[in-house]
Structure 1
């Protein structure tokens, strides 16, 4: 985790938030949610119609309210139910993330409210995504969740996780532990969309472990105001020919402080890792660390971090490469700056005004087509970008 500008990082007072159990009524159908709540979930990439989904999980405040699966080969449970069913999940629960890492992991371990458990069967190809939502309704609610994903041998899965607050909530705290295990030949695409309130504090802690021939592809999208995010997911490629990639798009309006990066550790021969980060500040602060560490050879890694400063704000990209043995191939490129005036003039010469030209360039910069998202999620993200542009310009 980056320690840069540590004195400026908004501090979290755990005592300010309510962690008392706030049980919510169960929902048989996500369409029972209010229209306002359905819109919030959609802006976090969650389709309440559950069309083209293999299953859904919704956690509100401190309890599960909906859990369903409609495709053979994937199991979806609340983490508390999974702990009961599988004798405490001794191979997985708190095995990738250290519960004593910091005050937030200790708080999550002391009182877990819930979270999703998703497991594929060996060889299962889950064609439609599983969607989950971690939702906060209520001012100054503190939420502890613990999520576990297990992708068994030769199986494939796409998980879309939306994290959001209701429209009337400005202040809350989300503590999320996520442990991801990808077995031999397994493939996971993990897409996370954050849509928080302006004074929400977010402290997720995520670790993925990938075995031989496994693939982990992570997409992270944060386009709306948030008070503070501190996140540094790490993936350990422990099996030969394992592959990991991170794609992130972050926007920091005035008042937002985002310390978010990624780490890939190449621990086995012929492993490959890539980190691609796109950041925009319209007045907020973004700290964007990225680390690729090679501990065996041959292994390859590439890190790319680009940022746009559209108004007063800070972007600090921190690419870091570490090789501990000969034969590791690691590279990086980083660039932070403003939109080139010649690019704007080029588009204006073709009939656009300055605002339209700037908007076109920004949309291209935030293009998420490279992520290979489902069409309906792509459309949802385009809607988020449209809403974000109104604030940008």
Structure 2
């Protein structure tokens, strides 16, 4: 692995490549740079497409799987398909950050298509951090696609963050939940300059007692634009909540399009959307603590 990959790994996961333990696969410019399975987690290459098949044994507890992907120069168009099969009763963490670096004029892109199949009673905390670096004029593009199938009593928590530098991103998430399954999403996005970010959620609550909670927090700075679209379909006695909370700074723009579809009389669905500038009382409080107005807004 080159030095840029090591720096991107530090930014998206907080660790260096040499510090990884347990099960991991590091992807660099479309190729596998390092891989290791553990006793309970098997990582193999797909045979029909670029990407991985990850099998997590039933009952696995307290382990972390790292699958970061890095693009280190312009002209790379990386596409990867990763399938996660999580066994019954397992409880694990999956870290799947992506970093794109470019100093050239050509586009640098990573598309990660992830499929999660959680068996009965499985629980996964999925962490995903995206960042782009470098002074190249070419676009730095990250387009993640996530397909989720949650069996009875399964739970997936998604903690996703996009930091600066990503020129364009379209983040698509599709989920189907069975009886008493739960999906919790916490998304945080910041855009600047002329960057564009779109989030697109479609969640189907098919099982009795299933629940989804989708929360997006974002800041649009410069002349950047963000779009948030969510659709929760309740086809059983279930609960669904969607929330978009966006802050505008400078000349940023945000479009929020939350949607609900109730297909059952006992589907309890709600959505919230708020767009505005930073509250004046928040800035005033920080200034009374000794910050300048510019420092307060940045904070």
Please, which of 241, 249, 259 is the counterpart of residue 320 of structure 1?
A: 259
Q: Secondary structure at the match of 1:358?
A: helix
Q: 1:271-310 alignment to 2 at 5 Å?
A: 271-283=210-222, 284-297=224-237, 299-310=238-249
Query: What is the CA-CA distance between 1:46 and the residue it aligns to?
Result: 5.7
Q: Is the 8 A contact 1:161 1:193 kept in 2?
A: yes
Query: What is the CA-CA distance between 1:77 and the residue it aligns to?
Result: 2.0
Match of 1:330 in 2: 269
1:165 aligns with 2:105: no
Match of 1:270 in 2: 209
1:175 aligns with 2:111: yes
Match of 1:223 in 2: 163
Please, which of 197, 200, 203 is the counterpart of residue 140 of structure 2?
A: 200
Q: 1:117-136 alignment to 2 at 5 Å?
A: 117-125=53-61, 127-136=62-71
1:72 aligns with 2:8: no
Query: What is the CA-CA distance between 1:355 and the residue it aligns to?
Result: 2.4
* Cα distance between partner residues in 2 of 1:321 and 1:50: 46
Q: Is the 8 A contact 1:282 1:312 kept in 2?
A: yes
* Cα distance between partner residues in 2 of 1:255 and 1:294: 37
Match of 1:370 in 2: none
Match of 1:45 in 2: 13
* Cα distance between partner residues in 2 of 1:144 and 1:137: 14
Alignment deviations for residues 77-123 of structure 1 (CA, whole Å, 9 cap, x no partner): 2223xx6xxxxxxxxxxxxxxxxxxxxxxxxxxxx3x2232211111
1:143 aligns with 2:85: no
CA 1:167–1:138: 2 relative to 1, 3 Å: closer
Query: What is the CA-CA distance between 1:357 and the residue it aligns to?
Result: 2.3
Quote the RMSD (CA, aligned, Å): 1.9
Query: What is the CA-CA distance between 1:73 and the residue it aligns to?
Result: 1.1
Query: What is the CA-CA distance between 1:40 and the residue it aligns to?
Result: 1.4
1:232 aligns with 2:177: no
* Cα distance between partner residues in 2 of 1:357 and 1:142: 39
Q: Secondary structure at the match of 1:224?
A: coil
* Cα distance between partner residues in 1 of 2:99 and 2:287: 38
Q: Secondary structure at the match of 1:287?
A: strand
* Cα distance between partner residues in 2 of 1:163 and 1:134: 5
* Cα distance between partner residues in 2 of 1:62 and 1:345: 48
Could you tell which deviates more after superposition, 351-360 or 144-153? 351-360
Match of 1:256 in 2: 195
> What stretches of structure 1 move > 6 A for 4+ residues in a row?
none
Query: What is the CA-CA distance between 1:303 and the residue it aligns to?
Result: 1.1
* Cα distance between partner residues in 2 of 1:201 and 1:132: 19
* Cα distance between partner residues in 1 of 2:132 and 2:52: 19
Query: What is the CA-CA distance between 1:248 and the residue it aligns to?
Result: 0.5
Query: What is the CA-CA distance between 1:48 and the residue it aligns to?
Result: 2.6
Alignment deviations for residues 314-362 of structure 1 (CA, whole Å, 9 cap, x no partner): 11111111111101111122111001112211222233221232233xx
Q: Secondary structure at the match of 1:44?
A: helix
Q: Is the 8 A contact 1:137 1:169 kept in 2?
A: no
Q: Secondary structure at the match of 1:348?
A: helix
Higher strand share: 2
